[in-house]
Amino acid sequence: MSEPSVPEPSVPAQSVPARAGARRSAYERVVRPVLYRLGRGDAEVAHEQTLAGLRLLGRVPGAPGAAARLFGSIATAPARTVFGIRFPSPVGLAAGMDKNGIALRAWPAIGFGFVEVGTVTAHPQPGNEKPRLFRLVEHEAVINRMGFNNLGSAALASRLATYGDLGYPLGISIGKSKVTPLEDAVEDYVTSLRRLYRYGDYFAVNVSSPNTPGLRSLQDAGHLRELLTALHTEAASMTVGGLSPKPILVKIAPDLTTPAIDELLQVCTDVGVAGIIATNTTIGRPGVSNHPLASESGGLSGRPLAEIAAKTIAHIHAETGGALPIIGVGGILEASDATRLFDAGASLVQVYTGLIYRGPGLIRKINRSLL
């Protein structure tokens, strides 16, 4: 079946508005317009080409070190120990960028102190029909309905086995295969955990993507308790087999009501979850409802998520008394945005959409702001 034609970008690259009172970086002035024209404006083509370039960078001897000197290495940020893991920088790459772990040697050169691969599923799957990734450049936002496109957890395990020690913590986000019925979701997650357990430093249980039918129902207390109990049981069996214990975190949606968040947190506390990742993309369209692409289905990320993410993190921190570590993600496009999430209660932060709009210099700025 042929792919549908890709629509022209709603705003030409040269029309991206300059930030008021800010000096734009070389990435914003030179590199970003080129990326935005790739594939006739198809954001997924730019994503794939960027990832291919980073993969090549990681393979060239000496290239990651040269890039680190250019962009500012993780040595410029203070290390933090969270849920028993030492992070050379508290700034990480969010899941979704390097789903299949093909560019893992390159990310530290940009300044990331940890990387989360995936979301990966037990079965390989192509994801949703294209086009499925859209830039809302006026709002520094992205809508995606990728649908967990990945090569599967077995393929990821094989790839990770070739890397050896990466020199930084690796998180692995696991989700439900689209072909797997909800009643069989637990085994689907457990299968991926089993295959990947020896390679991850922590695991993120993604029950909050809006792009897999029915997935968010797994955030309900009963379903979540069953899933997390099974994952912890599997993890315990792997530990008996000689592997060290690995923290299990839950990634939540920003669209949950306060009572629903509190109920979820109670389940996480009861089961012994190590932390929360807040938040995933939103199905709402805060601040972008009049944009011509706002009607596209999928999750919204970027600048419009900043307020929601900060409030969700602050609530989780207050509700748990700071006892449950939080990885904050959503709306980080400036160093001050990261500071806001740290101040709200996050122990670590992750960036993805901000990298699209600001480039590698954003990570350097965040790291330096933490000194």
Active-site residues: which are they?
209
How many CA atoms lie less than 13 Å away from 276 in the CB half-sphere? 32
CB 112, CB 168: distance < 8 Å: yes
Distance from C-alpha of 320 to C-alpha of 180, rounded to nearest angstrom: 33
Buried b (16+ CB within 10 A) or exposed e, 144-172: bbbbbbbbbbbebbebbeeeeebebbbbb
Tokens of 49: 């080409």
Distance from C-alpha of 148 to C-alpha of 123, rounded to nearest angstrom: 10
Distance from C-alpha of 252 to C-alpha of 279, rounded to nearest angstrom: 6
Q: What is the DSSP letter of 14?
A: G
Contacts of 204 (CB under 8 A, 6+ apart): 95, 116, 118, 119, 171, 172, 173, 174, 249, 250, 251, 277
| Dihedral Cα 336, 316, 186, 216, nearest 10 deg | -70
278 strand-pairing partners: 252, 328
> Is residue 172 classed as helix, strand or coil in its secondary structure?
strand
Neighbours of 17 (CB within 10 A): 9
Distance from C-alpha of 294 to C-alpha of 287, rounded to nearest angstrom: 10
